[in-house]
Amino acid sequence: MIYGTEELAHLEMVGTIVHQLTKNASIEEIEKAGLSAYYTDHGVDVYPQAASGFPFSASVLACKGDPIANLQEDLAAEQKARATYEKLIDLCRDNPDVLDPLRYLREREIVHFQRFGEALRGVQDKLAEKKFYMNNNNCGCNN
């Protein structure tokens, strides 16, 4: 759950950046940026959605009840988030106030990827162990 909490903090940071960049935008600037449909639905409030306009949905959470499948999914999600931050950094080259938090968030995704990789290795190692079952002969029974 710690990772989920941190990911929500990432969303909050990105949402704050978006809010700061749009809060004083004029209608003309909003239209010029191609955000008139977004503005119509949400004003300048932050609404979690993909760049394509598809709103966030729990359908993007791929849980299979299998630790290896889930960790592989986590690894992929961290890499996709890192790639997204890198593209945002490319788009915001001229704004150091936006670049620093985006770089921080990209670094966090890299660290998350490393931790999930370590967890995956631990699960794989545990599953590869041979299982030994021993009979406890010290139960006080006379066999």
pLDDT 10s digits, 68-89:
999 999 999 999 999 999 999 9
Distance CA 118, CA 115 (A): 5
Radius of gyration of the chain (CA): 23
Q: What is the mean pLDDT of residues 116-138?
A: 83
Measure CA 20 to chain center. Answer: 22
Distance CA 26, CA 22 (A): 9
pLDDT 10s digits, 19-73:
888 889 999 999 998 888 888 988 888 888 887 888 888 777 778 889 999 999 9
- In this structure, is the dihedral angle defined by the CA atoms of residues 43, 47, 52 and 55, taken in order, positive or negative? negative
How many Cβ atoms sit within 10 Å of the Cβ of residue 33?
13
